[in-house]
Structure 1
Amino acid sequence: MAEAEGQVRPSRSRSNFAIFAVVLLLLAAGWGIWWMLVGSQRIRTNDAYVQGNIVPVQAQTEATVRRVYVEDTEYVHAGALLASVQGDRSYLALKASEAALGRTVRELRREFAEVQRLQHSLDAQKAEYAKLGENLSRYRKAQAGGAVATIRITDTQADMRVLRAQMGATRAKLAAALALVGNTNLSDNPLVRAAVTRVESAYLSWARRDLRAPVSGYVAQRHAYPGLRIHPGQQLFSIVPLHGLWVVANVKETEMAQVRPGDTVRLTSYYYGDSVVYRGVVEGLVPGAGSAFSILPPENATGNYIHIVERVPLRISLPAKALAKHPLRPGLSMVARIDIAGKGKRSVLAPLTKTPVEGYETGIYRRELQRARQLAQRIIAQNAG
């Protein structure tokens, strides 16, 4: 009995090993078929992140924050007031520029009147000179008959020399006046135009004393506080629109040969997990590996060299409907699976990227310069007489 059991055990061991080998071969064959049909046609990377426009709101004038109207995470529309500042300095600068423009217009009015006065004076001097010339001719003719004394001719000649000198002085004054107002009027005179530019600049500084949202989005990175002294260029807020996001996926250079704009991408996020899938499209390839844009590019011309596989960033679109249903945030990690099996692919030099209008243009400054020019024209009209 024991001998029979000993004979059965090796037989069972060989049978179990055969079954295991068959299963292993089937798994290997299945994996090989999957790799040939599916795996080799896809590129997977988890080095992918959500990107978006983070719009900075910076101070444009030197002032002191008076009041803050928004807080982080609030949604604001384009043009919404974020913070107001004490505008005393910009207001006084505006009034000073307005006064300077008015004074310039009045001074030029005087110069225009001076040109007319000098022109009339020169005309009178010319007429007087012509009259003296005629008298001198008559005196010389009458001198032959003894009707005119020699002293009269001498005095007339002296008067003509004096008058010529006066005419020269008048012409010099006229030239000096014409240098300021010649071939111009009150509107296009260079002095007025310079004063108008100062008014427009002061008006823009005054109009931009308050901080407004350039685009619609969510408030982040608030650095404005009441009483804070701010300077031009200082960042006080960030506005983040969440409707126009995209994904930047970094793919190894060894896997980039078949990637083209237009390839479809299956995207999942760590934020929602695998239950939420975004269907994106490769819009374009960034024209350079990541190291080409780093702050400290690698220096490989040294004796010690270690090859590192570079990664090339891809821009991948995110569908608007999916974003509206499952919002994302810039900086979130994603997993991208790129389908490279498509036929008739585009060139890597033919991206699909298109710049939208919404979120890439602000209209809050559109009418400021127009209002500044209207203000300057009113000041000119009020002082033009």
Structure 2
Amino acid sequence: MSTQKPEHSSSPIQPEKRIRMLMLVTLIFVLAGLIWTAWWFLRGQYRIETNDAYVSGNITPVNDQTAGTIRKVLVENTEFVNAGQVMATLQANRSQLALQQAGAHLAATVRQVRKDFAKVTALQQTVSAKNAELHKLSSDLIRYKQSLPSGAISAIRIEDTQNEIAAATAQVAAEQAALKGTQAIVAGTTLQTNPLVRQAAAQFEQADIQWQRRVVRAPISGYVAERAAYPGLMVHPGQRLFSVVPLNDLWVVANVKETAMRHVRPGQRVQLTSDYYGGDVHYHGKVLGLLPGAGSAFSILPPEDASGNYIHIVERVPVRIALPAAELAKHPLRPGLSMVAEIHWTPSQKRSVLKPLTTIPVRGYQTAIYSGELRRAQQHAAAIIGDNT
């Protein structure tokens, strides 16, 4: 007698259990929808997000300002330099020769003007002597004419005296003209304030400044980048040798679609995230202002919409966003890094886009490394003038 084993099969899910699972899944979806809806009405609709943003900053070029050959390079890329620190020096032979030539010209001009001052005195004495001689001849002529009837003086003597008076008068006029010409050069001036001396001094000061600029200095404090200076390289004025980037004054430029720009106003809060640190680090910025034009308007080749081949695309408007100094010091950034910007706005923010919050530093963008050049050049010129006085 054979026995048959009962067939084992998975028992079907009971209808009640299936209904409970369906209700649970439905409840989860409903709750998720309610949460998303609440988030959207409370916050989501008041946020503008763009990943077309990047860090920007002041990249200061350090250009050569005098012709010469680089003799020594003293800094390297990524190195920190202080304002006024020597970055390179030039073997500026042409500047040195121009300075020597200008110095010699200044010395010669001072001596020439001294000669003009002395010439004025000499001409004044000459005019006085000629006038005295003319006065004597005029007095003699009067006496001769009085003595003519008695026969003591001949008519020829009177005629000769008249000729001598005419010649003396012409000489006085010539000397007076020469005196006026020389006085026009020196009248109303001193040796230091004479126009000829000041012109020569200005030429010398210009040459001296060019000579001083054979030393290339950092205009501001920051990090060195784009080093293009090498020993033996011949350089000319305007050629870029370095770039200096200060990392304590950075901002973010976010390119926002024009369809969302109606909600963007200066003063709005912005949450910034950088790929440099990942999603764990957030910066809390603020909208400073909107650039006065879409990005395409400032491109090298702006669009020509009247060409007939116009294709409508959504433009982006650059928005300047401030970075807090404390957060920037804790998590330093670099110009050019990508950012994700999330602008938070509320209907109550009615600030005009024509009233930006953008400001410059308290002392402005400036450098003081050139402030002493003219003073030193003037001191050198004064020394040359003094040596030749």
Give me the TM-score of the superposition, normalised by structure 2: 0.91
Give CA deviations for 1:302-354 in whole Å, capped at 9, x if unaligned. Answer: 22221111111111111111111110000000011111117354221111111
> Does 2:278 correspond to 1:278?
no
Does the 8 A contact of 2:116 with 2:185 survive in 1? yes
- Local SS of the residue matching 1:335: strand
Give CA deviations for 1:173-192 in whole Å, capped at 9, x if unaligned. Answer: 22332333233221121211
Match of 2:358 in 1: 353
Amino acid across the alignment from 1:309: V
CA drift of 1:171 comes to: 2.4
Match of 2:322 in 1: 317
Give CA deviations for 1:48-77 in whole Å, capped at 9, x if unaligned. Answer: 110011111111111111111111111111
* Greater mean alpha carbon deviation, residues 115-124 or residues 325-334: 115-124
Equivalent residue for 1:89, pick from 85, 90, 94: 94
Does the 8 A contact of 1:58 with 1:232 survive in 2? yes
CA drift of 1:25 comes to: 4.2
Does the 8 A contact of 2:67 with 2:92 survive in 1? no
Structure 1: which 5+ runs fail to align? Answer: none
- Local SS of the residue matching 1:346: coil
> Does 2:152 correspond to 1:131?
no
Counterpart mapping for 1:286-301 below 5 A: 286-301=291-306
Moved over 3 A (4+): 5-9, 11-29, 144-147, 342-345
- In the alignment, the residues of structure 2 paired with residue 269 and residue 250 of structure 1 have an alpha-carbon distance, to the nearest angstrom, of 15
- In the alignment, the residues of structure 2 paired with residue 212 and residue 318 of structure 1 have an alpha-carbon distance, to the nearest angstrom, of 29
Equivalent residue for 1:115, pick from 115, 120, 126: 120
Does the 8 A contact of 2:54 with 2:254 survive in 1? yes
% identical aligned pairs: 54
- Local SS of the residue matching 1:315: strand
- In the alignment, the residues of structure 1 paired with residue 167 and residue 176 of structure 2 have an alpha-carbon distance, to the nearest angstrom, of 14
* Greater mean alpha carbon deviation, residues 131-140 or residues 275-284: 131-140
Does the 8 A contact of 1:283 with 1:315 survive in 2? yes
> Does 2:271 correspond to 1:266?
yes
- Local SS of the residue matching 1:89: helix
CA drift of 1:244 comes to: 0.6
CA drift of 1:29 comes to: 3.4
Against the structure 1 CA distance between its residues 287 and 176, is the aligned structure 2 distance closer, same or farther, given a 3 Å change threshold? same
Match of 1:163 in 2: 168
- In the alignment, the residues of structure 2 paired with residue 58 and residue 151 of structure 1 have an alpha-carbon distance, to the nearest angstrom, of 84
Amino acid across the alignment from 1:187: Q
- In the alignment, the residues of structure 2 paired with residue 342 and residue 108 of structure 1 have an alpha-carbon distance, to the nearest angstrom, of 77
* Greater mean alpha carbon deviation, residues 133-142 or residues 276-285: 133-142
Query: RMSD between aligned alpha carbons?
Result: 2.2
Counterpart mapping for 1:1-385 below 5 A: 23-341=28-346, 343-357=348-362, 360-384=365-389
Amino acid across the alignment from 2:155: T
- Local SS of the residue matching 1:274: helix
- In the alignment, the residues of structure 2 paired with residue 342 and residue 279 of structure 1 have an alpha-carbon distance, to the nearest angstrom, of 20
Q: How many aligned residue pairs are there?
A: 379
* Greater mean alpha carbon deviation, residues 65-74 or residues 327-336: 65-74
CA drift of 1:146 comes to: 3.6
Against the structure 1 CA distance between its residues 42 and 165, is the aligned structure 2 distance closer, same or farther, given a 3 Å change threshold? same
- Local SS of the residue matching 2:188: coil
Does the 8 A contact of 1:216 with 1:359 survive in 2? no
Does the 8 A contact of 1:50 with 1:248 survive in 2? yes
Does the 8 A contact of 1:263 with 1:342 survive in 2? no
Structure 2: which 5+ runs fail to align? Answer: 1-10
